[in-house]
Amino acid sequence: YEQPRVIKATMEGRVTKTRVLEQALGTEAENLLDNVRHVQIIACGTSYHAGMVARYWIEELAGVPCSVEVASEFRYRKHVIQQDTLFLCISQSGETADTLAALRQAKKAGFRAALGICNVPGSSLVRESDLVIMTQAGPEIGVASTKAFTTQLTALLIFTLALARHNGLPEEKETEIVEAIHRLPGQVSDVLALDGEIAEMSKAFMDKNHSLFLGRGSQFPVALEGALKLKEISYIHAEAYPAGELKHGPLALVDSEMPVVTVAPNNDLVEKLKSNLEEVRARGGELFVFADKLAGVKPEEGIHVMQLPSVHPITAPIVYTVPLQLLSYHVAVLKGTDVDQPRNLAKSVTV
């Protein structure tokens, strides 16, 4: 529920009404962002999902190739790091052992600069990065990241715009997206107001053991994050797939016992997504769709549609994450699990 406020706080001092401020990433950013030819993102868990969303933004808006990898894999394999790579570590705590080990290892191999996106001032990641964008989420009590994720995305989008400007993004496009960023706190509040309806929807998951989350494009990482939230706090097995991969395997699992959750903002992939939903429905799968009213997903038997505000396609991953967080929360409350402290998990994995 703090998300509208903390997203706003993360924007503050970094954007005007229409532009990203030159000093958004600190005074050294100007030199360090010039001639970046590749962005390598490293993170774990929810922070990794934020990195996956950022890859879509960085390639679309800045035109810079971007790779994303979980730190626990990156640190244990041989890799080629080009000198003109911007190494970007995302970590709420700034103390995740795998993420820090990956950063230290990459430093030895050499790269252009290290950018940290972090929520804890003075943490190891903040100290060891050349540039830092602090998220303003404030302390997160729950083990499962919620406001940390949406503020990471806000920071990553601002960074992307700063990088994109270096690579010739037209001013009108930057303004269009900055204005969309300013609408985020209000749009997230509108989604939070759907809490009662989402609580009602969550009852359908109470007696289920498995679930599937689908998304396309930058909504695929949102599906991954939705599935992670559900398994972390309600212990229901949840898998996320890019919707186009359905027919390459997961369709075999779909039946009336497998609820399928989808996010459908209005973008150029929505028609393809709708045909994926028909594939699910034809196998008797019950669908729970969070959709823009302009996306044209119609409720019918077995298709529950919750209408979300119309949002800019670039900022949609931030807004569409919130109903999935609420859904997991309500399922967990109904099941009586400990939402703040799920079994077997720690807030920060420092060893």
Site residues (vs ligand F1P, CB under 6 A): 44-47, 91-93, 96, 99, 143-145, 347-349
144 or 162, CB closer to ligand F1P? 144
Q: Which of 312, 46, 57 is nearest to 187 (CA)?
A: 312
Residue 173: exposure state from Cβ atoms within 10 A (0-12, 13-18, ≥19) = middle
281 or 347, CB closer to ligand F1P? 347
What six digits make up the tokens of 94? 């700034």
Beta carbon of residue 328, minimum distance to ligand F1P (angstroms, whole number): 12
Beta carbon of residue 322, minimum distance to ligand F1P (angstroms, whole number): 16
- Bridge partner list, 300: 303
117 or 194, CB closer to ligand F1P? 117
Beta carbon of residue 70, minimum distance to ligand F1P (angstroms, whole number): 9
Which amino acid makes up residue 276?
Answer: N
Beta carbon of residue 140, minimum distance to ligand F1P (angstroms, whole number): 8
169 or 224, CB closer to ligand F1P? 224
**Helix, strand, coil: what percent of the chain each, to 5?**
50, 15, 35
Beta carbon of residue 156, minimum distance to ligand F1P (angstroms, whole number): 13
DSSP class of 193: T
180 or 327, CB closer to ligand F1P? 327
Q: Which of 49, 32, 3 is nearest to 192 (CA)?
A: 3
- CA gap 342, 345 in Å, rounded: 6
- Indicate the pairing of strand 260-264 with strand 287-292: parallel
Residue 114 CA to its chain's centroid (Å): 21
147 or 274, CB closer to ligand F1P? 147
Beta carbon of residue 199, minimum distance to ligand F1P (angstroms, whole number): 23
Residue 315 contacts residue 7 (beta carbons within 8 Å)? no
234 or 276, CB closer to ligand F1P? 234
277 or 324, CB closer to ligand F1P? 324
Q: Which residue is nearest to ligand F1P (CB)?
A: 45
Element (H or E) spanning 165, and its range? helix 147-166
Compute and round to an integer the Cα radius of gyration of the chain. 20
Which amino acid makes up residue 308?
Answer: L
What six digits make up the tokens of 117? 């996106």
Beta carbon of residue 162, minimum distance to ligand F1P (angstroms, whole number): 22
DSSP class of 71: H
Beta carbon of residue 347, minimum distance to ligand F1P (angstroms, whole number): 5
Beta carbon of residue 114, minimum distance to ligand F1P (angstroms, whole number): 15
CA distances from 238 to 38, 63, 158, 227, 272 (A): 33, 33, 31, 5, 23
- Bridge partner list, 133: 117
- CA gap 85, 130 in Å, rounded: 13
62 or 144, CB closer to ligand F1P? 144
Residue 178 contacts residue 18 (beta carbons within 8 Å)? yes
